[in-house]
């Protein structure tokens, strides 16, 4: 499976099931610190009960978004747990940004984020 093929599969999934979310990165410190917001398409799903092991808790969400969309929006990668995701107006903390699961031949296709909030 080539990276281009998998990227097209993810793009089709986002077009069918995705919604607009905001990737938010704060800079500086303090309550009025500046932020950089970028709208991207993502698939937002909850976890199944069988997934509630380790650090995954009830209410956590799995968010899948294309790395290419972040790059096109000039977001400096990688996504870290200091970044935030805004879903339907609610800011979520990124608990675990996974940039390994959705790689093909070493190329990052999509991030899988465990988010809470």
What are 48-103's pLDDT values in tens digits? Answer: 877 777 788 889 999 999 999 999 999 999 999 999 999 999 999 999 999 999 99
Closest CA to 39 of 62, 73, 15: 73
Identify whether the C-beta of residue 77 lies closer than 8 Å to the C-beta of residue 13. Answer: no
Q: What is the pLDDT of residue 60?
A: 94
In the chain, the number of structural domains is 1
CATH of the domain at 55: 2.40.10
Identify whether the C-beta of residue 61 lies closer than 8 Å to the C-beta of residue 111. Answer: no
Alpha carbons 22 and 112: distance in angstroms, whole number: 15
DSSP assignment, residue 33?
-
In which domain, by residue range, is 100 found? 3-116
pTM of this prediction exceeds 0.85: yes
Q: What are 103's strand-pairing partners? A: 108
Closest CA to 37 of 45, 27, 48, 47: 27
């Amino acid at each position: 499976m080539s990276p281009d093929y998998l990227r097209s599969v993810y793009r089709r999934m986002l077009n069918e099931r995705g919604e607009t979310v905001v990737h938010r990165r704060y800079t500086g410190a303090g309550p009025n610190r500046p932020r950089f917001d970028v709208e991207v398409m993502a698939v937002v799903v909850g976890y199944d009960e069988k997934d509630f092991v380790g650090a995954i808790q009830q209410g956590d969400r799995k968010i899948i978004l294309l790395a290419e969309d972040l790059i096109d929006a000039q977001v400096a990668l990688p996504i870290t747990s200091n970044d935030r995701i805004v879903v339907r107006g609610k800011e979520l903390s990124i608990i675990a940004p996974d940039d390994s699961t959705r790689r093909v031949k070493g190329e990052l296709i999509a991030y899988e984020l465990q988010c809470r909030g």
